[in-house]
Amino acid sequence: MLDYFSPDYYFERFDKISVEFLKKNGIKTLLLDIDNTLAPYQQAEPDEQILSWLNDLKDNGIGFAFISNNTSGMRVKRFNQNIGAPAYGDSCKPFASKTILRALSELSADVETSAFMGDQIFTDIWAGKRCGMRTILVPPIKDLKNPFFRFKRWLEKPILNHYFSKNSIT
């Protein structure tokens, strides 16, 4: 169980994931969570850091799509308006296999050379694993302070401990 939910890679921030790392590991496509992975909930538009990282991916032929659980369609639309990537809101991760496969087909990508990146084990990481793809975990930028989130993070703890007992931060 601990192994099943462990991510394949862990990075301290999204922009520590380099094109070089992706190429070395045969990852040609990234499926990206938005909230708390790329930007805090309150940040409606991508900032310079996000845009420059995404441009670097694009310039190097790495495809990407946004797969968000945010139930406000506007959130995803606005975040993506100057980027124009395949983008899906309200995608019900971890039960997002249909959406994920649709995004992959839009990008002419396959599960073997794709990875799912996000900040939540039982949402993002599980969604990627259910589709048989590799997964990359990043810590949340800033968690919402509510009991539901605290509970989710508490559930994640044994898995993180397990991961770090075998790996160091990439």
33 forms part of the interface with Mg ion (CB under 5 A): yes
Note whether 8 binds Mg ion by CB under 5 A: no
Question: What length does the chain have?
Answer: 170
- Nearer Cβ to Mg ion, position 8 or 119? 119
**Total residues at the site for Mg ion (CB under 5 A)?**
5
Q: What's the Cα-to-Cα distance from 158 to each of 1, 145, 163, 168, rounded to whole Å?
A: 10, 21, 9, 16
**Residues 103-119 as b or e (16 or more Cβ within 10 Å = b):** bbeebebebebbbbbbb
Residue 156 interacts with Mg ion (CB under 5 A): yes or no: no
Q: Is 36 in the site for Mg ion (CB under 5 A)?
A: yes
Q: Is 6 in the site for Mg ion (CB under 5 A)?
A: no
For position 70 contacting Mg ion by CB under 5 A, the verdict is: no
Report in angstroms how near the CB of residue 124 gets to Mg ion at its nearest. Answer: 6
The nearer residue to Mg ion, 8 or 33, going by C-beta atoms, is 33
Q: To the nearest whole angstrom, how small is the minimum distance from the Cβ of residue 128 to Mg ion?
A: 13
User: Least distance (Å) from Mg ion to the CB of residue 135?
Assistant: 13
Geometric angle at alpha carbon 51, from 50 and 57, rounded to 5°: 95
Nearer to Mg ion, 29 or 123 (CB): 123
Among 11, 35, 54, 85, binds Mg ion (CB under 5 A): 35
Site for Mg ion in 108-137 (CB under 5 A): 119
Contact set with Mg ion (CB under 5 A): 33, 35-37, 119
